[in-house]
Amino acid sequence: MLYPILLDYYLYFCFALLAITWFGRGANPSLRTNLFYGYGLISALGFLLALDWMGGVIFGLILLELGRHLRRWLDKKAAQLKK
């Protein structure tokens, strides 16, 4: 069920990954730039070479980035509860 969605909206998922990376990694600009270039390269290669499985990779990277933000938010809430 997820596979056709990943194929149909591949470019949107790629742009979402780049946006999440750009806005979420603002604290370290050099890392943000390197990840931005790397994710852009992966996205472009997957699109140009028509690698269907690359949609799953992009989706997984989105989940990893969002999980990182969720973990940071939960750690901040736990620190507030300890006070």
Q: Residue 4 — pLDDT band, cuts 50, 70, 90? A: confident
Cα-Cα-Cα-Cα dihedral sign, residues 60, 16, 54, 56? positive
Residue 58 placed within a domain: yes
Residue 20: phi and psi, rounded to 5, are -60, -40
In which band, very low, low, confident or very high, does the pLDDT at 41 lie, cut at 50, 70 and 90?
Answer: very high
Residue 52's contacts (CB-CB under 8 Å, 6 or more residues apart) are: 7
* Residue 15 token pair: 């742009």
Structural domain of 2? 1-19+30-68
Q: What is the pLDDT of residues 52-71, one digit of tens each?
A: 888 889 999 999 999 999 99
Query: Under a CB-based contact definition with an 8 Å cutoff, are residues 64 and 21 in contact?
Result: no
> How many folded domains does the chain comprise?
1
Residue 79 lies in a domain: no
What's the token pair of residue 43?
Answer: 């996205």
